[in-house]
Structure 1
Amino acid sequence: MTSIFEQALGDEFARLHPMMQRRFGVGLDSGEACVGRGVMSSIRRGPWWTVPFLQIGRLRNILVPDVGRDVPFVIENYPYRDGLGRETVTFVRSYTVPRRRRAGRRPVRFDATMVLDEGRVLDYLGTHQHLAVDLDLTVDAHGGLVLRSEAQRFHEGPVSFRFPMLFSGRAELHEWWSDDDRSFHVDLEVRNHRFGFLFGYRGTFTCEWLAASDAPSRLKPRRTEARL
């Protein structure tokens, strides 16, 4: 069995830079987790009216309301099998924003868990997997990965509906390896087609790989959502 990303990309996976192949080869079959540590050179958000939207997302670790420069962060990718038997990979990011550190407050978290559904990676966002997002993955000319969010569904108790994109944003993430500084680079922007830029970050990090066949409980969602 190959990783969920290799299955989603198919032959395109071989076009990734070898370091990107290792990073996105994390899975139960590889028996490895990937923990990245680095610095976000910038974390940005849109105009003032985006703040309430971001603050609501913060309650379930879906969005990051803080901004800053040179912000230390950690990203933890662990494979595990969820309660529904699906191979899952955590994408949990923790940000140590300076003003929160000075106040003795815990880092901000952005939680995501990814599974494979009919050949496409599905991203569950938040501590309770409330938001399910289809991801489109492509490989750029330099062996980097480009991830674009597509349709989104909201699930909470008996409520389930396709989330109107008028009230949400589409994410585009570029991640690549640089042989110059021997580091991974990441650049994310979230935009609404009518209101423009909502949120984004840009940074660099290095990784260590750890033997793993399960994820720590602190990284797993509090609720596993069966709906796709």
Structure 2
Amino acid sequence: MTRTQARATAAASMFRTVMGDAFDRLHPQLQRRFSVGLASGEACTGRGVMHRIWHGPAFVKPFLALGATRNILLPRPGRDIPFVIENVPYTDTHGRETVTFVRTFDLPGRPRRFDAQMVLSPKGDRILDYLGTHQHLASELHFSAEPDGSLLIRSGEHRFREGPVDVRVPGLVGATAEVRESYDDTAGRFRVRVSVVNRYAGPLFGYEGSFTASYTDIRASGVRPGLRPVREEARA
């Protein structure tokens, strides 16, 4: 795919909307992958291997196990774990464009999911990342194109939202996530590296791996059952 073709495909995606001209500096395959949206009518499914899933100090394990009950983070480390990531666009119950980032890891014993839904704000000026099955945790995301054409995503502050409650997660227990995604022309694969770091405790959790991507027409397939969250938060 040429950059011109990628730019045309991605013209109306939420990711291009928030990145502006920086989107054009991404590798063409990343432009294609992050063109998924209601306007393009495409979904993207990545299939590959997480070469390494790691955990930080032992004291983080109970928090990871608790988060796993709501499909947030992963309760155990591993190597060479098959995984699937599903990026499917839809309109949520509050009328906002949403793209799923649902990752399923085939860990020994039972598969585990790490669910996130990226929601475009009503003004179209930012993307919120809602985590888990009930969207209790939200973070504003910051996107940038790196000089090598890779994509860097950093999370802002986390907020806990439930009913009338809307509070910032304190820095003592909160963390910053950093996602780097690139395309390896030689291997013909996407590469992803994720790290979650607490400002006091240091690295908490992360993974790195590679995958290939395929694209489907959502107007024909729709959103499969179980992919959307149980609860959708109204605040953006």
TM-score above 0.5? yes
Equivalent of 1:113 in 112, 117, 120:
117
2:227 maps to which residue?
219
Letter in 2 for 1:114: M
Equivalent of 2:15 in 5, 29, 47:
5
Alpha-carbon distance between aligned partners in 1 of 2:164 and 2:225, rounded to the nearest angstrom: 26
1:134 maps to which residue?
140
Residues 1:68 and 2:78 aligned together: yes
Alpha-carbon distance between aligned partners in 1 of 2:162 and 2:75, rounded to the nearest angstrom: 22
- 1:152 offset after TM fit, Å? 1.2
3-state DSSP class of the match of 1:93?
strand
Structure 1 stretches of 5 or more lacking a match? none
Alpha-carbon distance between aligned partners in 2 of 1:18 and 1:12, rounded to the nearest angstrom: 12
3-state DSSP class of the match of 2:226?
helix
For residues 146-157 of structure 1, the aligned pairs below 5 Å read: 146-157=152-163
Q: Which runs of 4+ in 1 moved over 6 A?
A: none
CA deviations over 1:112-166 (Å, ceiling 9, x no partner): 0001224111100000110111101000011110000111110122322111122
1:184 maps to which residue?
190
2:63 maps to which residue?
53
Identical aligned residues as a percent: 53
Residues 1:16 and 2:26 aligned together: yes
Alpha-carbon distance between aligned partners in 1 of 2:76 and 2:168, rounded to the nearest angstrom: 28
Residues 1:93 and 2:93 aligned together: no
Q: How many residues align?
A: 222
Residues 1:200 and 2:210 aligned together: no
Alpha-carbon distance between aligned partners in 1 of 2:198 and 2:15, rounded to the nearest angstrom: 26
Residues 1:122 and 2:132 aligned together: no
CA deviations over 1:157-191 (Å, ceiling 9, x no partner): 23221111221110111000010100000001100
Under a length normalisation based on structure 1, what TM-score does the superposition of the two structures give?
0.95
CA deviations over 1:42-99 (Å, ceiling 9, x no partner): 000001100011111111111111110000000000000001110100000000112x
Under a length normalisation based on structure 2, what TM-score does the superposition of the two structures give?
0.92
- Higher RCO, 1 vs 2 (CA within 8 Å, ≥6 residues apart): 1
Alpha-carbon distance between aligned partners in 2 of 1:215 and 1:115, rounded to the nearest angstrom: 16
3-state DSSP class of the match of 1:165?
coil
Structure 2 stretches of 5 or more lacking a match? 1-10
